[in-house]
């Protein structure tokens, strides 16, 4: 029998519990401005979750309805508790010492500001002899993901001559067969962010997919070929990386990964969509993405598995080092590394990182039945003048 929540669980919803009989009759068509009660069915067990008011109902290519609901929030004092600090040698051959958490904290390379901002930075206070590596941080989320909507709100991203930062996701197991997604990446004081995918064989970027960026190099995403370059797209906006992005007050980067492909958007501060700020993201309303890896050329599920979220700042190395002579930066990358004042902009300043999961709504039923616990019917739960139907939605 279909039932609703007992009164003790109604506090999960953003509406007041009502006693039986206190019903308002204004129940109308489904509205994105209403709260929904979702009943999750799994192996015969029914449990309830709440969806915030103004949840945005969206439609998949197969016609099914779904919502993006929050899964994890990385922010504030607990941010670094959810990440591991990488202390090995840099796989990209950067002139960097990745420190452990205690060292990073002791040397002010990681900290949380009084107003909750997350700071990660390269050492900008120590003079070095020529050839000595500079301290920095690389962290990887303890949790792994298979698909999701990843939204990073930041005030400042690292840049500067010889600096090579990245926000990316990395698959578990042997690289590159479980995939890598580079969402924010660049070198020196470039103005254009580069989005790149690295996979095993049999994955190509379809150039006929609609996106606003410019193709870079190969269409073959195979990380074992072409010098590990993968397949990439450079953003068109000069406010997507470096000093111009930071001068705009930062902004938001979003990566959507599901069975329809992997897409990336970026928004400088003044252009961040209202649905993102409200915590109810609707990628279908954001316009064309800056980069897309379409399933017509690459299976986004088979080629990307068990991904951790990674932030890092390295110096010189395979990209920033090899491109230094043609970058317009002074001297050599090795010489640049010596003076700490060259790295005052080599820092992340993050408001929050939110990960949303797709919940598909697959069934409906009328809510005339009473709860086994004697709680109100769905009509009574939602009978607050809100424009929502009398139904229960089951979530996969």
Catalytically annotated residue among 52, 185, 235, 288: 185
Q: C-alpha angle 242/97/184, rounded to 5°?
A: 30
3-state secondary structure (DSSP) of residue 266: strand
Q: C-alpha angle 361/259/152, rounded to 5°?
A: 90
Report the C-alpha gap between 215 and 265 in whole angstroms: 15
Q: Does 180 participate in catalysis according to the annotation?
A: yes
pLDDT tens digits, residue range 129-154?
999 999 999 999 999 999 999 999 99
> Tokens representing 119?
């700071």
Report the C-alpha gap between 313 and 181 in whole angstroms: 16
Whole-structure pTM value: 0.82
Q: Is there a contact between 199 and 304 (Cβ–Cβ < 8 Å)? A: yes
Q: What is the dihedral of CA 82, 256, 241, 214, to 10 degrees?
A: 150
Q: Does 288 participate in catalysis according to the annotation?
A: no
Catalytically annotated residue among 52, 180, 235, 288: 180
Kindly give the confidence (pLDDT) of every residue in the chain, 396 residues in length, as a single tens digit, with 9 standing for 90 and above: 333 333 333 333 333 333 443 333 332 333 333 344 444 444 444 344 444 445 688 888 888 899 999 999 999 999 999 999 999 999 999 999 999 999 999 999 999 999 999 999 999 999 999 999 999 999 999 999 999 999 999 999 999 999 999 999 999 999 999 999 999 999 999 999 999 999 999 999 999 999 999 999 899 999 999 888 999 999 999 889 999 999 999 999 999 999 999 999 999 999 999 999 999 999 999 999 999 999 999 999 999 999 999 999 999 999 999 999 999 999 999 999 999 999 999 999 999 999 999 999 865 443 443 333 333 333 333 333 333 333 344 444
Going by their DSSP bridges, the two strands 134-136 and 291-293 should be labelled as unpaired
pLDDT tens digits, residue range 354-371?
999 999 986 544 344 333
Structural domains of the chain ordered from first start: 71-360 (2.60.120.200)
């Amino acid at each position: 029998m279909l039932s609703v929540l007992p009164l003790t669980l109604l506090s999960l919803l953003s509406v007041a519990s009502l006693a039986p009989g206190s019903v308002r009759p204004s129940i109308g068509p489904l509205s994105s401005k209403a709260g929904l009660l979702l009943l999750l069915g799994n192996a015969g067990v029914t449990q309830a979750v709440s969806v915030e008011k103004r949840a945005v109902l969206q439609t998949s290519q197969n016609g099914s309805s779904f919502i993006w609901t929050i899964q994890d929030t990385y922010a504030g004092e607990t941010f670094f508790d959810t990440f591991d600090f990488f202390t090995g040698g840099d796989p990209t051959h950067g002139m960097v010492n990745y420190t452990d958490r205690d060292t990073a904290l002791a040397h002010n390379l990681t900290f949380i500001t009084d107003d909750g901002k997350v700071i990660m930075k390269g050492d900008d206070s120590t003079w070095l002899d020529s050839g000595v590596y500079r301290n920095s941080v690389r962290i990887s989320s303890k949790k792994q993901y298979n698909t999701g909507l990843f939204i990073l709100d930041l005030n400042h991203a690292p840049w500067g001559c010889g600096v090579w930062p990245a926000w990316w996701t990395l698959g578990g197991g042997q690289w590159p067969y479980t995939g890598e997604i580079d969402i924010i990446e660049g070198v020196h004081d470039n103005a254009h962010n580069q989005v790149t995918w690295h996979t095993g064989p049999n994955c190509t970027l379809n150039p006929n997919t609609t996106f606003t960026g410019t193709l870079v190099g190969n269409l073959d995403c195979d990380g074992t070929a072409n010098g590990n370059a993968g397949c990439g797209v450079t953003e068109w906006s000069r406010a997507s990386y470096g000093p111009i992005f930071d001068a705009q007050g930062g902004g938001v980067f979003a990566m959507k990964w599901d069975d329809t492909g992997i897409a990336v958007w970026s928004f400088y501060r003044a252009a961040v969509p209202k649905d993102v700020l409200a915590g109810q993201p609707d990628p279908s309303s954001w316009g064309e993405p800056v980069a897309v890896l379409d399933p017509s050329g690459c299976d986004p599920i088979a080629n990307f598995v068990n991904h951790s979220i990674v932030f890092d700042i390295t110096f010189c190395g395979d990209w920033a080092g090899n491109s230094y002579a043609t970058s317009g930066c002074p001297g050599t990358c090795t010489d640049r590394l010596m003076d700490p004042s060259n790295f005052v902009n080599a820092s992340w300043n993050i408001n929050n990182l939110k990960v949303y999961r797709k919940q598909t709504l697959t069934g409906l039923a009328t809510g005339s039945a009473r709860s086994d616990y004697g709680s109100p019917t769905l009509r009574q739960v939602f009978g607050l003048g809100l424009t929502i139907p009398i139904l229960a939605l089951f979530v996969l």
